[in-house]
Structure 1
Amino acid sequence: MLSITAIPLEGVKFPLGDLVVTSGIWDLVMAGRMNPAPYLKRHGSGDWGDVCASDKALNDRALKGEDRLVSAYQVDQDLKIYVITEWDRSVTTVLLPSEY
């Protein structure tokens, strides 16, 4: 996993902790296929993306407690990503489903 910095994240509802991306995401960033910043902002603002209603409800409850937060975003027809913030809000990771 690679640490990323210098992404302004105003308006987040919870601490994201250290921001990291997996090697698969890093390869996509370096190839110009994606930018994780908009998805980190959406995740941090409570927009959980393309998860089912029960997962959205779990995330909403986790905002008040100490549970992990999981978002999924369909970047394009062939690319889906996950954004996961750990229960203690120490780390937020952007990853591919195959890296989960």
Structure 2
Amino acid sequence: MERQAWLAECLARHDNGDWGDLDHDDRAANQLAIRRHEGRLLSRFVVPESLTADTDEDAVWIITDDLDDPDTATTILWPSDY
């Protein structure tokens, strides 16, 4: 699987409520944000070994900010981006 296809799959999973590899507290925060329709959603997906040959990045984070804003933004971040 190429990196772009994998990232698109991760984004679709995030959009459908599959937040990947999160701890209990982050999952609870996501659920609360959805119930209140405010705050942010966070997902973390582990990069498959087949895509790590040219990078040392082991995961990607996807964050949707300001659920109550009609112009909300979703950002994909590698650990080195923050």
Q: TM-score range by the shorter chain?
A: 0.7 to 0.9
**Larger of the two Rg values belongs to structure:** 2
Structure 1 counterpart of 2:59: 80
CA separation in 2, counterparts of 1:33 and 1:71? 17
Structure 2 residue ranges without an equivalent (≥5): 53-57
Say which structure is richer in helix.
Answer: 2
Which of 6, 18, 31 aligns to 1:60? It is 31
Count how many residue pairs are aligned between Structure 1 and Structure 2.
Answer: 69
How many angstroms does 1:33 deviate by? 3.1
Say which structure is richer in strand.
Answer: 1
List 4+ stretches of structure 1 deviating above 4 A: none
Calculate the aligned-residue CA RMSD, in Å.
Answer: 1.6
CA separation in 1, counterparts of 2:62 and 2:16? 12
Normalising by structure 2, report the TM-score: 0.73
Normalising by structure 1, report the TM-score: 0.61
- Counterpart of 1:71 in 2: which secondary structure? strand
Structure 1 counterpart of 2:19: 48
Q: Does 1:38 align with 2:12?
A: no
The code of the aligned residue for 1:70 comes to L
